[in-house]
Chain A
Amino acid sequence: MSTMTVAVTFDLLSEAFDKVDVTKRAAPAAPGGAAKAYSRAPEVEAAVNDAWIRIKSMVERCVNQGKAIIQSEVSAFMQYVDSTSKELGARAKEFRDRLLDGIREMITKTFDLMLKALRSDIVVGQRTFALKTLDLEQKLLFSGSLQISLTSLCELAGSGELTVTGSYEVVT
């Protein structure tokens, strides 16, 4: 077993942010499909955009300043989410759902990008070893709670690195 680490930089997170488009308007769900047919309500669009910009800044601060600020950052952001939810009235759930979807997708994309950085095989002398097992040290939390999901994302950003334990075996 070998332990490998991948540095969590804001460049990497920024790349993940670029891959997540919370502003997209989902196509109408196909019959029987599970896609969410979000409305085209301009208020929700605007609120999600603004919140996403804030999340991006918050994640950047977590990368730079570490885990110590996560609690206060998340707490301040959740206050913002609550006040915006009041502004949106009946559309608040849609706003929160879209944020939650965005954060989950962001976590997934971030891990994808980090794991891509790992080599799937290594050559030692004349022999090639292929990656056989992979364990993540970090705890992945895909919660239905916006606050927990956001904290998870910030912890990933604030940890500074992703620790992965893997084992290689000889390719026969």
Chain B
Amino acid sequence: MSESLGLQDIVAHATRSICVALHRHGIDERVCLALKSGLQNGSVSVVEKVVAVVADQLDDEPQLREALNQSLPRAARVFAAMLATDSPTSELLLEAAETLEMLGDCATAMDAPDMAYNLYEVSSGCGAPIDRAALRVATLLRELADPKNVDQLGAAAWRYATERLRASLDQQSDWMEAIDAVETALTVWVSQPVHQAQLYEPLERVLLHHAENTPLAGLTAIVPTQAPPHALALERRLQFSNVVLGQQAPTAPVGVSRQRTAEAVAFFASVKAQAMIDDLRLKLGGGVPPSDTSMTWHDLSLEHRGLISAVPLGRALVADPERTGELVLELVHEITHAYCLLGPIGWAHRAYRAGISYLEMLMAHGSAAPTWPNAMPTLPAAAALLAQRQLATLLRSEMLVAVWTPWLEGVAVYMELLCDPKDDPNEINLPFTAVRSLIDFPSLERRPSETDDELHERYGDHVAAEFEAFYSSVCRRKSRVRHLAYLRQDDEGTIYLTGYLLVRSIVARWEHTLGHRLSPVRAAKLLLDATRNGSMAAIPPLDTPLEEFIDACYERMASWLQRIADLDRESLSTFLQSVRRHEGSRMTSWLTGRPQTVEPDRTVEIEEFTRQYEALRDGAAQWIFGEPAPADPEDRLAQHYAAYRDLCEVQNRLAGILPVGRDYARLLLGADGRTTVCPRTYAGIIPPTADNAGQLADPRYSVASFFLQDPGQLPELRRLCAVLETSRVLVTRVVDLVGNRRMPAGSSYVYLGLDTAWNHIRLGYVGQELGEEWEDINDLIAARVNAGALTGDEATTLASLQFLAQRYEGVAPASGLAESARGFDRTEYARTVGLSACALAFSADPELVEKCFEATTPEQLNQLAQYLHKTGWGEAGALDIGEATLASIVASTESYSGVIPFGGPA
């Protein structure tokens, strides 16, 4: 606004603003009018007299009084000088800017933010031509801008970006803040072309004059390519676009106008520029931190170095097996975990987790405690009881995790190392479907007279073939070296190895029962189903006394392992029978302890399974609340039960949605209504060269830009970006592991969200946006993606034994429970479970098993890894077995897949 005002206008505008602020603050109207007259006429003496009167009325506000005493007479002097000239000197403009800033501060002190905004704006306008450093004013303008006024927000964002950039370049610091500010400004441009050009020009000037030889030098070429429409002439924009694109700049094709080509080049350059900004941010941020691939139990978060600030999009995952093969294998491993935890093992864990959250809510609302349960003591004894129960619940949960970790790791390692989907021409296991859904295969051209069904079927076959060819080559090529990687001597390595050997022994037993080798991908089908759906009996009642709980967990798991190992030939054959093409999916019931195919609408099995689930969940509730659920639904405790059950349901539903990767991706908002999102996608590692020794194996990204379809969203998006002070939306890809009424299990969606104020979900990268009829699915995905906002950093709070133990000790010092909780080492216990389970699997003396694991040399482990690799793929493996060695316990040349069947030699 101020940029288009003359000096007289500025004086009038400023005078009006300060007088309105004073009047609102209770200063007499006549005094205000006198002040207005004095200021507008530049009369220092009048203003000094008025200030004396005003001061009398501000007895109890000495600071404000002092500020007005200093600023108003100065304003009169400066305004007089401004009114007396048409060409102000730099000194006058500087003094005007400073004085107007002081008046803005006075308006702020009088609680008149709108008037303060006016005064800061004219201060900024006076300072702009002389490049006055004004970060403080720009920051205040940004804070005071009307959140409903897009243009005001936009102008404030531009001023802030210019000043933030100037300050960073001047002080050689806060580079990221400067980039954030510039990106936000580029996103929330103002609608008036002249005003926008006036806002753009100082920013470009700061870059041209100060950015050379600084980390932000690249912005000099990048910013013009993303500049708002009308901020600079197309010719000039093209000059910078060509700099950014280098040799990639396309020339005008025949038949396309020069203007259209120029626009296309400008757009292309803006996307390329975004990749450059993202690389700059990565560099300034110290690169991608090293991190291990993992899946958390408490909230099923998938961590991977290739998925930090990156989302699988397009064909990036399968672009080159050399570069992305490792990530794909690791995704299959982690998604196998997520899938296995959708059944009773995960339900039990989440029943405890819901209990911990519920107890937290009760603690947060202390008033609820005395009324629950019916026999609840009064505070503060109630607080101690709640904290004690919460800690004990987490300890149980950790015990459950420790017992199941070796098996679950074993299944995931088996899937990753030996399962080639190509080996099963008719079926595909869900972890493969899920990973496949993260790849956007291009659609096929319809053949003449091809029906929709035929096209879909051909597309399905094409996608399956392409994915399987990729995966098969990666899996087979990397299997040996990944065997070597998993067989290590540390505690974690022992857990992987014991779990893997356990799985191999079960499969060996099935092979023995069937009388032939099983291809691993077929065996995995049964392993996954048994673990996810057939493990109800493997979980003890969740209210088993704490001191018996861990043994009960192990006993149940061991019995379950024995049962699945002992599956009879008929059950195995029936289950493993291939599903024929076009045959619907089969439903398997494990109610009898073995897999039985049942009709999909068999309500008896479903009802019984539901009953068992409810009993499992209510076991946890009974432990948490201390009493069984009352029959009377009006009873206070019954209401707590109902709320707790709802919480369990929510957590179970959310567990079926798995976010894979996340990136805060840049929004490019175009004048033509096109909204482009530029998320990064992992493209392997940076190829090593002689020059980048220090950057070996850093992730490499490509930008996967795509449009949002609805141009009507543009103004609101601009406003939200300005209010939230960001130009970046959260982009993640979520896989639905359960399926819904519209899409089968293993489908994926791309989620975009601007805080919780706006979101947009689409089927895949280039697929359709979810319309209103998808509302429930949309809500579920949004709830899952934003779940972290509610739970906070759960890993270090409610899911941490140390945290809860410390808190419990605060209300119950010298507690034995807190000591036990602190001393519980999940990894160590999981290792012990793995070794015991191996002793069971190979009918060996547990002490001997432990001794052999400890005594195994790295050389022997590597030999065993190569033996397990060979035999796993059905080849003969050579192994120096020796006496009383790990190899002598587990290996069998008689067995179909090289490992002694579960229960000992056949």
Binding site for B on A (CB under 8 A): 28-29, 34-43, 45-47, 49-50, 53, 57, 84, 86-91, 93-94, 97
Contacts and interface: CB of A to CB of B under 8 A. Distances in A.
B485 A94 contact: no
B525 interface: no
B478 A87 contact: yes
Contacts of B321: 89
Given A37-B695, A39-B697, A90 B477 contact: no
B696 interface: yes
B481 A47 contact: yes
A38 B695 CA distance: 8
A46 B496 CA distance: 14
A29 B694 contact: yes
A144 to B, nearest CB: 10
Contacts of B697: 38-39, 41, 91, 94
Interface stretch (B445-453, B533-541, B672-680, B683-691): B683-691
A29 B292 CA distance: 19
Interface string B622-636: 000000000000000
Interface string B749-782: 0000000000000000000000000000000000
B693 A89 contact: no
A42 B696 contact: no
Nearest to B323: A90
A90 B685 contact: yes
B290 A39 contact: yes
Interface string B95-122: 0000000000000000000000000000
5 contacts: A46-B482, A89-B325, A90-B322, A91-B685, A94-B696
Contacts of B478: 43, 87-89
Nearest to A86: B477
Nearest to B693: A36
Nearest to B329: A43
Main secondary structure of the interface of A (DSSP, over half): helix
A37 B696 CA distance: 7
A26 to B, nearest CB: 10
A84 B323 CA distance: 15
B411 to A, nearest CB: 19
Nearest to A42: B485
Given A46-B484, A87-B481, A53 B693 contact: no
Interface residues of B, number: 28
B40 interface: no
A49 B482 contact: no
Nearest to A47: B481
B172 to A, nearest CB: 15
Given A46-B484, A53-B859, A53-B862, 14 more contacts: A36-B696, A41-B326, A41-B697, A46-B481, A46-B482, A46-B488, A47-B481, A47-B484, A50-B862, A53-B858, A57-B859, A88-B478, A88-B481, A89-B326
A36 B694 contact: yes
The 9 A-B residue pairs with the shortest CB-CB distance in the complex, in nearest-first order: A39-B697, A89-B322, A46-B485, A46-B484, A93-B688, A42-B485, A87-B481, A90-B323, A90-B322
Nearest to A37: B694
A53 B323 CA distance: 27
B577 to A, nearest CB: 35
Contacts of B687: 90
A94 B686 CA distance: 11
B422 interface: no
Contacts, number: 77
Contacts of A47: 481, 484
Given A41-B326, A45-B485, A49-B862, A87 B693 contact: no
B480 interface: yes
Contacts of A42: 482, 485-486
Contacts of A43: 326, 478, 481-482, 485
Contacts of B688: 93-94, 97
Contacts of A45: 485
Nearest to B481: A87
A39 B696 contact: yes
Nearest to B695: A37
A50 B484 contact: yes
Contacts of B696: 36-39, 93-94, 97
Contacts of B693: 34, 36, 97
A22 to B, nearest CB: 12
Contacts of B326: 41, 43, 89, 91
A87 B480 contact: yes
Contacts of A36: 693-694, 696
A50 to B, nearest CB: 5
Nearest to B482: A43
A43 B646 CA distance: 44
Nearest to B483: A46
Interface in B143-195: none
Contacts of B290: 28, 39-40
A39 B695 CA distance: 9
Given A46-B484, A50-B484, A87 B477 contact: yes
A27 to B, nearest CB: 11
Interface in B654-689: 684-685, 687-688
B661 to A, nearest CB: 18
Contacts of A87: 477-478, 480-481
Contacts of A84: 481
A41 B488 CA distance: 14
A93 B688 CA distance: 7
A47 B485 CA distance: 8
A89 B481 contact: no
B174 to A, nearest CB: 18
Contacts of B325: 89
Nearest to A40: B290
A127 B486 CA distance: 62
